[in-house]
Amino acid sequence: KSLTIGLIPADGIGKEVIPAARTAIEAVGSDIPPPKFVDLVAGFEHFTRKGVALPEETIEVLKNDCDCALFGSVSSPSKKVAGYSSPIVALRKILDLYANIRPVVSVSPDPSKPSAVDMIVVRENTECLYVKQEQQTVGEHGREARATRLITERASTRIGQMAFELALARPRKHLTVIHKSNVLSITDGLFRESVRAIPAKEPRFEAVTVAEQLVDSAVYRLFREPQIYDVMVAPNLYGDILSDAAAALVGSLGVVPSVNAGDSFVMGEPVHGSAPDIYGQGIANPVASIRSAALMLRHLGYTQAADRIDNAVDSVLREGQFLTPDLNGSAKTVQVADAIVKRI
């Protein structure tokens, strides 16, 4: 049997870093079934050429033929473009990838010492403000815009369970619930209550210590004392912001991976976007995508393959000879990828 992996580089540096992730997967050899890659299209560029951001064929192939997938990044415009909506947001919904798991880990200079930053941001992936129900009307004093923020008990509970599961598997077994229910007592209140109710229903989770933090002070404490966090669970928007902020603690957005996970499918995706400021120069950091590939394999149970990739990445970062400019180096994407592949 083979392992069929959908590759969706999409826009911008996605097209530079997803091929790097592919070479890393190919390098693990017999630790995984022979990989079969399927190239798939999506993105804003495809939309401007073909009028569709997420072709039906991409969805069908992912659903019917692929065991897992890797997504690069999309260039979603900040202004509304008629007929366009972000394919990654859509894919998370269509494939019911309800959890976005984002480990943020620094590489300790001495491999025998623990990392200074070692946390996982678990972001709810299907609702909150990302249901994208916005409307603009004209009121008495001019234009007014409204957005619906959907929080359900079902989605909050299942993301909470995923977070408890991840916390339970870690040495510290500590979970921080992020919310703002001092202001948004109905929506964030439901999120908070749903997560906090889980251990009473699943006693094995009682081994996890639970803390809470309002999202604004969570960002503050993240910068001052990142070591207090182990696993954080948050509604969609807070999780998005917190994980980008956490990326600053470990040097660059270019090293932070994620997986979008559901009960029956997993899709690796670097946390960063399409980086139009550096696209085309061949200097995008491939580490986030390579780590996303490892995370995807880990999620599928290929622990040894994932460890080999992660260890290779860590040693390249530690040695410091092949680093892209975001980490103050001068190496190209392909040089970093080659160095990692050699160590795998």
Could you give the residue numbers annotated as active site? 130, 180, 216, 240, 244
Single out the residue of 146, 229, 148, 236 nearest to residue 191, CA to CA.
236
Single out the residue of 153, 289, 160, 176 nearest to residue 227, CA to CA.
176
Q: How many helices (H) and strands (E) would you count in the chain?
A: 12, 12
| 13 contact, one of Mg ion, ligand NAI, none, CB 5-8 Å limit per kind | ligand NAI
Identity of the residue, 242 or 313, whose beta carbon is nearer to Mg ion in the bound complex: 242
- Tell which positions 163-202 bind Mg ion, by CB under 5 A: none
For residue 127, the SS3 value is coil
Backbone angles phi, psi at 224, to 5 degrees: -85, -40
| 118 contact, one of ligand NAI, Mg ion, none, CB 5-8 Å limit per kind | none
CA distance linking residue 267 with residue 297, whole number of Å: 10
Identity of the residue, 89 or 210, whose beta carbon is nearer to ligand NAI in the bound complex: 89
| Minimum distance of Mg ion from residue 126's CB (angstroms) | 15
- Interacting residues with ligand NAI (CB under 6 A): 13, 17, 73-76, 88, 252-254, 272-278, 284-285, 288, 324, 326
Identity of the residue, 15 or 158, whose beta carbon is nearer to ligand NAI in the bound complex: 15
| 240 contact, one of Mg ion, ligand NAI, none, CB 5-8 Å limit per kind | Mg ion
| 337 contact, one of Mg ion, ligand NAI, none, CB 5-8 Å limit per kind | none
Residue 269 contacts Mg ion per CB under 5 A:
no
b (16+ CB within 10 A) / e for 45-74 = bbbeeeebbbbeebbebbeeebbbbbbbbb
List the x/- string, 229-258, binding to Mg ion by CB under 5 A. -----------x------------------
Beta bridge partners of 146: 135
Q: Give the number of C-alpha atoms closer than 13 A to the C-alpha of residue 69, restricted to the C-beta side.
A: 32
Identity of the residue, 288 or 317, whose beta carbon is nearer to ligand NAI in the bound complex: 288
The footprint of Mg ion (CB under 5 A) covers: 240
